[in-house]
Amino acid sequence: MLELYLRTVGDTINLLIPFWGKPKPQVTWTKESQPLDPKQVVVRNTEKDSVFFIRAAQRKDSGKYQISVKILDEFEDLATFDLLVIEKPGPPTNLKVVDTWGFNVALEWNPPQDNGNADLKGYTVQKADMKTQQWFTVLEHYNHTSCTVSDLIIGNSYSFRVFSENPCGLSEMPAVTKNVTHITKSGIVYKPKKFHSRDFCEPPKFTQPLLDRTTTQGYATQLVCCVRGFPKPKVIWMKNQREIQEDPKYLVHMDQGICCLEIRKPSPFDGGIYTCKAVNPFGEASVDCILNIKGMYVFYLLFAFECFVAIPPTQKSCETSE
């Protein structure tokens, strides 16, 4: 039995709670330690189960429910669960333009008065050029109540709107700025607020090591690991502590921190200890693995035959009989 049931307003809720006991147990349902309202919840009990039914869930149906199964006032078992009935949130409030400079507009707003009985997942910010009257999304799943909209066109006018979002989706109605904002050439000089820059620099660190591998001679194989660091580390591949130089046998890939060394048509000579080393100005790190190459076995069928050779003075001939 789940501990939390999440439903949307208007959903039908039909839960079957099985149990067992002799003689027939006495079943009691409560919500927040109070008896259920039969106008809101329908309960049907049998000797083996109990059905909990709500035809069209409302937010007021949310709460902690408990079922008690008791035999002869001596033996009792309990089961509890939380029911959360949610709906789409209301729109944000008090949306306004707080500053305009250059190609940018700063917006602020307040959270919605009604969150739909669920935590907000964020906001969606949109802009519309008054020349086209078309809305374009600027930010999605945005978790703050202020933002800067950039890349606006000087000389054009814009309107802005913001939707709230919870697990049910976006609010039915957005908050819209009261007035149209005109982007002019004046006020290009902007004094940004002071902020403390964050140091993102970090030495290389492997998040996924190399793994030992065994492959077959003649079949291409790949050695893969993952590294992170800032600035982007330089990656060096080595075999038996010797750097792998440019060689058509080896193909090196690196994308989004995923490092891959492809070995084409390996032979037993290519087996050994492979090392991936990452270096940046703040440090270095390395990982190793062992690559084993299995040889290919070819069986030859030998046929026995007899050969008679007659050697004349100037010519050789060979006759073969099976």
- Which of 45, 68, 86 terminates a domain? The answer is 86
Structure tokens at 51: 């059905």
- For position 313, what pLDDT does the model report? 54
- The 10s digit of each residue's pLDDT in 146-158 is 999 999 999 999 9
- For position 298, what pLDDT does the model report? 47
135 and 167 inside one domain: yes
Domain containing 157 equals 96-183
Q: How many helices (H) and strands (E) does the chain have?
A: 0, 28
Q: Are 245 and 237 in contact (CB under 8 A)?
A: no
Q: Is the pLDDT of residue 109 over 70?
A: yes
In a domain, 123, yes or no: yes
233 and 265 inside one domain: yes
Q: Is the pLDDT of residue 320 over 50?
A: no
20 and 55 inside one domain: yes
In a domain, 194, yes or no: no
Q: Are 202 and 181 in contact (CB under 8 A)?
A: no
- The 10s digit of each residue's pLDDT in 35-67 is 999 889 999 999 899 999 999 999 999 999 999
Q: Are 145 and 109 in contact (CB under 8 A)?
A: yes
- The 10s digit of each residue's pLDDT in 226-271 is 999 999 999 999 999 999 988 889 999 999 999 999 999 999 999 9
In a domain, 315, yes or no: no
111 and 142 inside one domain: yes
pLDDT interval class at 316 (50, 70, 90) = very low
- pTM value is 0.52
320 DSSP β-pair partners: 307
Q: Is the pLDDT of residue 217 over 70?
A: yes
**Domain tally, the chain:** 3
Burial (0-12, 13-18, 19+ Cβ within 10 Å), 162 = buried
Q: Is the pLDDT of residue 312 over 60?
A: no
In a domain, 302, yes or no: no
206 and 289 inside one domain: yes
Q: How far apart are CA 164 and CA 90, in angstroms?
A: 7
Q: How far apart are CA 273 and CA 250, in angstroms?
A: 15
In a domain, 307, yes or no: no
% of the chain at pLDDT higher than 90: 75
Q: Name the 3-class secondary structure at 59.
A: helix
Q: What is the CATH number of the domain that holds 208?
A: 2.60.40.10
Cis peptide before 231 (omega within 30 of 0): yes
- Which of 183, 211, 240 terminates a domain? The answer is 183
